[in-house]
A and B are shown apart, each in its own frame.
Chain A
Amino acid sequence: MSVDLNPSLADEPQRRAASLRDGYIPGERLIVDPSLEFHTEFDDDLDPVTYEVLRSKFWNLNWDHQETLRRASGSLVVVYGYDFNTSIQTEDGEGVVFGPGNLFFSGCADLCVRWTLEHRSMNVGIRPGDVFIQDDPWVGTNHQMDTAVYAPVFVDGRLFSWVYNVVHQRELGGLEPGGFVQQAQDVYAEAIAMPPIKLVEDGELREDVLDMWVRRSRLPDLMTLETKAQLAGVQFAKRRLEEMIDRYGPRTVKGAMKAVIDNTSAAVGRRLSRLPDATWSDRRYVAGASPGDRELYKLALSFEKRGDRVRVSNEGTDRSAGSFNITRGVLRALIANAFIPFLAYDQFLCGAGVLRQIDFDVPGEDTITSARHPAAVSTSIGLTTAGAQAHYLAAKMLSADPESREHVFAATMLHTLVVNHMFGTDQYGQTYAHFPFDSNVGATGAFTFRDGIDHGGGILSTINPVGSCEGYEREIPFLYLFRREMPASGGHGQWRGGCSFVSGLTGHGTEESFISSGGLFQTVTQGIGLVGGFPATAGVMRHAVDTDIRERLAAGEMPGDPVALGAIYPELTPPPPKKFDNSLKEGDLFETWSQAGAGYGDPLLREPERVAADAADGRLAEGELERIYAVVLDADGGVDEAATEAARDRARRDRLAAARPPRRPCTTEILPEAAPGPHVLATVQAWPGEDGELLCCANCQKPLGPSDGGYREGCAELEQPLPELSPYLGDPSTQVSEPLVFRRYLCPGCGIAVDGEICRPTDEPRIDVSLPPERSPR
């Protein structure tokens, strides 16, 4: 990114209006008022010691900024939810370092700073002692609650860098308290979005701006406190950075910033270079745009990898709808979020180094993942869904490289957002509003070389505590009947996803208390498995009112898990999706899940000994040992090897017999004596054929299709209803208007699943990976 030295500012108002309508994505060059001078000199030959000392100091400074903010805020959302972040940025907005909180902010911070440079440098100006505040999703934030506070740092009157923080402020208005407006059909039902404004001018807090900021809130005093905590954070970070500049000199500090970004960008680039040039794409269905809306919507994403770069497109995504949209800046941020743990895991969260390798090719068309103003954008559903898709596609792409494969994993918690907000009258007789995190945590998906992590958390944030039952019971008028691990809930596969837990609640000490059943429709899980692994449950909510649970408890009857509870109360059934006021007074029941991790690879490839261990540890539901893994155990619970081998052979044959035959069988053969080409997925490898390269099953080398035409049409297709895969997966037909199935693409040679997807039975197979046409001349 560079700054245009001879800018024309004449069309700035038009560009500003366009950015606030379509969503801001900076161009090749920033157009900034020339009166703003930049400090651009830096040492480009830092010695390795100074580099490492400063790199570590950036990390520590930013960490201390984070802790300053966390401590001054004292908010549940910040302290436990980690819904915040901090960073240091170069003069033109590149993020040098971020903290381990919500990682997608690494792709938002640069947008805030750059928009400010391009649209505020000429009017109101950017000067030493200024601090800006903004929460406009079309500028650079997920939703209106995410408040960015950021300050320029000047050296000798020239703009040297920026310090930034962002916090999910708890209450900034909108139709529904807390601001996640499920029923919004446009932005006007939501909290007012404010593009960058100057909160501190020349060192002086503008009380008029602060008043305006908190005036829309139901808790203005608390938001004042939150905003001041953010201010204290940036002031702290600014001062520490200025001290660093004094101590080491501006050229050295800037040189270290540039080197950190260069090194990260080079590491990401090298890792991408190990992949073949190819295009990977995903299309998936989501449901839950609005209360009562039973439609399915398509979300599409593709990564076209060439050399050391990736071009991102969302072509094929449906038009914006209901309340589950995001702006295109947020989509870009989610790509960065997915790439950081997979491609920059050892680079201390340098956002710019990742973003530099991404070409973001998403026009300002009004889709779910590139929503135009005034679409509704407040619910975070689009965020988690597009985030799950980006994560999935990045993992799938990187599964092609044996080295990168070691760092990826399948879908994790928050793949299918569930929201359980609560409000009412508490056990102390006071009005309350609260947000137990039980449904917003969960497991890590399967790695490509081992099982996922039970209750291991996800990647939107690296840290995801749930909070104690006792802590919630002290403040919310309910009792936990159980918080029960569900050991069999991890997605099936060669490697299992991590397992999650389920919480059973009953109202306690209240005659008026409510819980929402918000978020996506859970039967349409977004926890899709990798290369033949099974999907993970998004859980099920269940609700019942006016039961005799109090009497039963008093009589010593304690249902300690969902099965026992459901056996007593058959009326315990899913509440209407996206209902904000399910009653949870005394005698009412509500059950909600944390989310499990998805599986990796065909379950028939899971080592039988591991399956036996799963059986012994309660990690298999009834019948899954035989039906899903085709493993036979002896009387002692050990593996009967001969019987298992026979059962697995039979299972492959039965699968192929039950499957729809390949739509376009591949008849070409691999050239004899040929050397193999690259993998395009862990399960699919290119081999030279007579008419160019072929995509073949990596398990048995059976050719499946031409390298630019995909392998799927050469596969047998096995479709199953989702509830058949696991008792924890619901039936989509109960919530949406069209049927959905789990379709697996089987190699017709060996019967092993190469990949899988959740689709409508009528959907044609689409190409999910292809090599460039020039590799396959015909």
Chain B
Amino acid sequence: MTAKSGSHIGIDIGGTFTDCTVVLSDGSIRVGKVPTTPDDLSRGFFGSIDDAAERIGTSGEELLAGAKQVSHGTTVGINAIVTRTGARVGLIATRGHGDAIRIMDNSGRVTGVSIEEVLDYSLSRQPEQFVRRADIAEVIERVDAQGRVVVPLDEDQVRSEVARLVADGVEAFAVSLMWGFVHPDHERRIGEIIREEAGDTFVSLAHETDPRLGEYERTVTTVLNAYVGPLMHDYIGAIVGGTGARGFAGDVLFAHSDGGLVTAEFARRQPIITLQSGPVGGVIASANVGEEIGSLNVIATDMGGTTLDVSVIHGGKPTIADLAAVEQHAFHLRKVDVESVGAGGGSVAWVEPESGTLRVGPHSAGAMPGPACYGRGGVEPTVTDADVVLGIIDPEGVLGGELRIDGEAARAAVATLADRLGLGVEECAAGIVEIVDSKMEDLVRRVTLQRGHDPREFELWAYGGHAGAHATLYSRGLGVKKVVVPMGNLASVFSSYGIATADVVRTREASLYLQTPFPAADRARIDRAFAELQAAVERDCADMGVAAEDIEIERTANLKYALQVFEVETPVPDGPIDEAGLEALLANFDRAYEQRFGPDSRYAEAGYALTQVRIRASARSERPPLPRLDPAPDPPRQGREREVFWQELGGAVATPIFDGPDALPGHRFEGPAVIEYPHTTVVVRPGQRAEIDPVGNVVVIVPEPAESPADLVREEVPS
């Protein structure tokens, strides 16, 4: 066990399980999994490490003491927001603008809610606020769009408002001023006054948290950062203290939504960046594994109990978005771009009373009571119950080594619907699967097309407990040629694998507003802004222990056409933005715009505007390469068969069942077949063929589809 030292350890806390993936120095992988401990999440954190250590044949302490890197994806922040248990926040805003978070861009009713709620007004409402009206202090100061001071900061008034809020009992401060991201002096000075008046109370300054235009979203970002700040501070302290006490000498790294890791100190200061890190692990893992095997264009899908999360990796890089929503509040967050649809294993099938027709979701039975087949009191038929009725999931099996499937309960639940619809039970179950898979197909197509890509040029990667059972069905309508269930059983802990192998990433940005013709003085401002950003990220990286020569720099800028609204993040060429540099930048933008929005979508005649510049610095993780597995000496062992209902075959057929952990490179599985792992089931449909690749991925070859999806983005306007 020489590989025990120098390992990369990734811990991901989910709603049900806390997963730990250990990548040993020889590249081999071990996994720990324990139930999540909601009362004290750090217990599950260390429990999962102990569990993994046990499988390696060592102790948690020993594993940690020898570890090269420990990284962690936490849900503490998002939990506090959803359960409304964060700090009482005092908000300091520019006079006249403290209501921005109440007005919510006049869109609070519809932000991040299902289309059903958008259309039925009686189901929707304005969400609860995170700041009480009385805890908003408006201060005298004003800056304009060019960063000029129109009203000087009234420090005495600030001081008395801060004192009032402290006396009223606020536990954290958010400071978000109009145009503070262009002229941060007023926010900085207010931060100093708060420290003078309120000691080490958590302070969140908008120009640091979110230097972007849009006072509503920026204020929400800043408020949420303060709202979770004190809790995260304590939690990070417990994790850092605990790992240190167990002998880990390094800096624990935290996963953030921008697809990388930062040190505990950064996560403490800007906990908001950890907020939507949940889906990020899986996307990073897909990108990293994909890179190793030469799969650079990947549609990454994570099908859990309630949702299907979809993101696009193009050229090896995850697509990044800037806008997020939580509890109907919109905010800015640099994050791996993930879209969700309410379609998961727990999605409930029901009969719409007005039309008497079958619907699936968006309501989910969730983890509790969960599908009827879990035997926890659920009676509504879910997608998982349908999978059980069809035999795709073993009606007498055990999920994850713990949960015994109640096949009769699944059947009874589906039968109630089947009776109402005049369908056979299997037919009804196949119908439920067809409906939910159709929705997933449509979402995957949309996510890909909207980002300017053609799904036929991508592989579909499917992870999360339910993914392998459905992706091979709905992929047929998309025209993808391969469905990859990454690394077999690792699919269920894929996220923690991603966290274990992620890079250190730090992004900084600044806001500008410069327009055609970009005279020399404006171009010099761009150069200056990049120079300042570069110096800042290099400082950040040094603080995180990354040497300057290990940093990889990526420069981008947001541009738009003057009379159009969409901004597109555009690669900025190396070197100064002189005339040639500008020309290259604008050409990059034209290309990026057309790629994303279609040919003939641009209106360059109106001129260009540049709004944001950005530097993303990353330091590559020194993860060992994935070990190549030895080819199988023998064909796969086939021990079992069970009846599985295949809609393409019009009925149930005795189907070979294979044990996934025994599957090795060189094995081929002709559909229909089912490959079972403790936490995942891979369905090879009739006409499909599955193989195991050299790193252990299950690769399902999807035959040419009967029809091909629309080539939306390259749609030609007739000429």
Interface residues of A (CB under 8 A from B): 47-49, 51-53, 55-57, 60, 63-64, 67-68, 71-76, 79-80, 100, 200, 203-205, 219, 221-222, 225, 228-229, 231-232, 235-236, 239-240, 243, 246-247, 263-264, 266-267, 270, 341, 345-349, 406-407, 409, 427-428, 441-442, 444, 447, 453-457, 459, 462-471, 473-474, 479-485, 498, 501, 504, 508-509, 553-554, 556, 558, 560-561, 594, 617-618
Contacts and interface: CB of A to CB of B under 8 A. Distances in A.
Given A71-B566, A463-B118, A482 B710 contact: no
A509 B145 CA distance: 11
Given A67-B450, A72-B601, A468-B216, A79 B566 contact: yes
Given A76-B565, A470-B145, A501-B103, 6 more contacts: A48-B421, A68-B712, A235-B716, A453-B121, A455-B109, A466-B106
Contacts of A270: 354
Interface string B677-719: 0000000000000000000000000000011111110011111
A167 B152 CA distance: 45
Contact of B707 (A48, A235, A247, A485): A247
B521 interface: no
B122 A406 contact: yes
A347 B446 CA distance: 22
Interface in B429-482: 430-431, 434-435, 438-439, 442, 445-446, 449-450, 477
Contacts of A225: 600-603
A60 B118 CA distance: 16
Given A239-B710, A266-B354, A466 B598 contact: no
A480 B566 CA distance: 24
B718 A204 contact: yes
B126 interface: yes
Contacts of B133: 617-618
Question: B106, B431, B450 — which one has the most chain A CB atoms within 10 A of its CB?
Answer: B106
A157 B565 CA distance: 41
Contacts of A457: 106-107, 109-110
A471 B214 contact: yes
A729 B165 CA distance: 35
A716 B95 CA distance: 48
Nearest to B708: A243
A267 B97 contact: no
A482 B96 contact: yes
B357 A51 contact: yes
A243 B709 contact: yes
Contacts of B150: 479, 508, 553-554
B446 A480 contact: no
A260 B176 CA distance: 49
Contacts of A468: 105, 213-217
Contact of A508 (B144, B598, B605): B144
B119 A60 contact: no
Given A49-B431, A501-B99, A228 B600 contact: yes
A63 B717 contact: no
A48 B358 contact: yes
Contacts of B106: 441-442, 455, 457, 464-466, 594
Interface in B122-174: 122, 124-126, 133, 138, 140, 142, 144-146, 150-152, 154
Contacts of B565: 74-76, 79-80
Interface string B471-502: 00000010000000000000000000000000
Contacts of A554: 150-152
A236 B599 CA distance: 13
A469 B706 contact: no
B418 to A, nearest CB: 10
28 contacts: A48-B358, A72-B597, A74-B601, A79-B565, A205-B717, A222-B603, A225-B601, A235-B717, A247-B707, A267-B354, A341-B120, A345-B120, A346-B116, A348-B115, A442-B106, A457-B107, A462-B119, A467-B105, A469-B100, A469-B215, A470-B145, A471-B213, A473-B145, A482-B95, A482-B96, A483-B103, A485-B99, A618-B133
Nearest to A466: B106
Given A63-B446, A67-B446, A74 B597 contact: yes
A428 to B, nearest CB: 7
Interface in B313-369: 352, 354-355, 357-360
A100 B145 contact: no
A518 to B, nearest CB: 20
A357 to B, nearest CB: 14
B515 A483 contact: no
Given A225-B600, A243-B707, A474-B513, A407 B564 contact: no
A456 B108 contact: yes
A585 to B, nearest CB: 15
Nearest to B450: A67
Contact of A473 (B100, B105, B144, B561): B144
A60 B354 contact: no
B102 A74 contact: no
B645 interface: no
Question: A71, A441, A463, A470 — which one has the most chain B CB atoms within 10 A of its CB?
Answer: A470
A598 B431 CA distance: 45
Nearest to B605: A221
A616 to B, nearest CB: 10
B563 interface: yes
Contacts of B126: 453-456, 498
Interface residues of B, number: 91
Contacts of A453: 109, 121, 124-126
B423 interface: yes
B606 interface: yes
Contacts of B152: 554, 556
A560 B152 CA distance: 15
B118 A462 contact: yes
A64 to B, nearest CB: 6
Contacts of A243: 707-710
A558 B216 CA distance: 20
B424 to A, nearest CB: 11
Nearest to A200: B718
Contacts of A441: 106
Nearest to A480: B96
Q: Give the top 5 A-B pairs by smallest Cβ distance, nearest first.
A: A482-B96, A74-B564, A49-B431, A263-B355, A267-B354
Nearest to B435: A52
B528 to A, nearest CB: 20
A481 B97 CA distance: 8
Given A341-B120, A453-B126, A558-B142, A222 B179 contact: no
A47 B100 CA distance: 50
B103 A553 contact: no
A100 B423 contact: no
A485 B102 contact: yes
A484 B96 contact: yes
A263 B145 contact: no
A349 B119 contact: yes
B465 to A, nearest CB: 24
Contacts of A459: 121
A346 B352 contact: yes
Contact of B97 (A74, A406, A480): A480
Interface string B203-226: 000000000011111000000000
Given A71-B597, A348-B119, A240 B710 contact: yes
A457 B106 CA distance: 7
Contacts of A508: 144, 150
B596 interface: yes
B104 interface: yes
Given A53-B438, A457-B109, A464-B107, A232 B566 contact: no
A464 B107 CA distance: 6
B178 interface: yes
Contacts of B154: 556
Nearest to A462: B118
Nearest to A48: B358
Contacts of B95: 482, 558, 560
Given A228-B600, A453-B126, A56 B107 contact: no
